[in-house]
């Protein structure tokens, strides 16, 4: 499984766009990039997944450059309820276990 590197923490204010970048220099050809969100005392929750270029859903966007050695999770107009830990995971489509790392703790301030 490819190792990922994320910032330990980030601060933002309500209404701002937040971009969290994840480095995965050793990503393999058949690896996908998946982001999870976790609130205190809850299990992680799937946010978005992609392979290349850009993926967008109702919650976030995922930007993946051509070399795929990094990816950026973009959260538009964050609110206080977006305060959570965000994990970037990399692995093949049939992988049966996730390596979460320590994630990025996002703190949204009023």
Q: Please tell me the distance from the alpha carbon of residue 65 to that of residue 53, in angstroms, as a whole number.
A: 6
Q: Please tell me the distance from the alpha carbon of residue 62 to that of residue 82, in angstroms, as a whole number.
A: 16
Q: Per CB under 8 A, does 94 bind another protein?
A: yes
Give the count of residues interacting with another protein (CB under 8 A).
Answer: 21
Instruction: Determine the distance from the C-alpha atom of residue 49 to the mean position of all C-alpha atoms in its chain, rounded to a whole number.
Output: 9
Q: Please tell me the distance from the alpha carbon of residue 47 to that of residue 59, in angstroms, as a whole number.
A: 7
Question: Applying CB under 8 A, which part among 16-24, 43-51, 60-68, 73-81 lies near another protein?
Answer: 43-51
Q: Per CB under 8 A, does 81 bind another protein?
A: no
Please give the residue ranges that form the binding site for another protein (CB under 8 A).
32, 34, 41-46, 49, 85, 87, 93-94, 96-103
């Amino acid at each position: 499984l490819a190792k990922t590197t994320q910032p330990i923490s980030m601060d933002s204010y309500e209404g701002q766009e937040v971009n969290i970048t994840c480095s995965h220099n050793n990503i393999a050809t058949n690896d996908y990039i998946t982001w999870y969100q976790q609130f205190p005392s809850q299990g992680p929750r799937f946010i978005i997944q992609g392979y290349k270029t850009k993926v967008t859903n109702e919650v976030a966007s995922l930007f993946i450059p051509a070399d795929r050695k990094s990816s950026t999770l973009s959260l538009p107009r964050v609110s206080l309820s977006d305060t959570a830990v965000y994990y970037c995971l990399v692995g093949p489509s049939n992988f049966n276990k996730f390596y979460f790392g320590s994630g990025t703790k996002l703190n949204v301030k009023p």
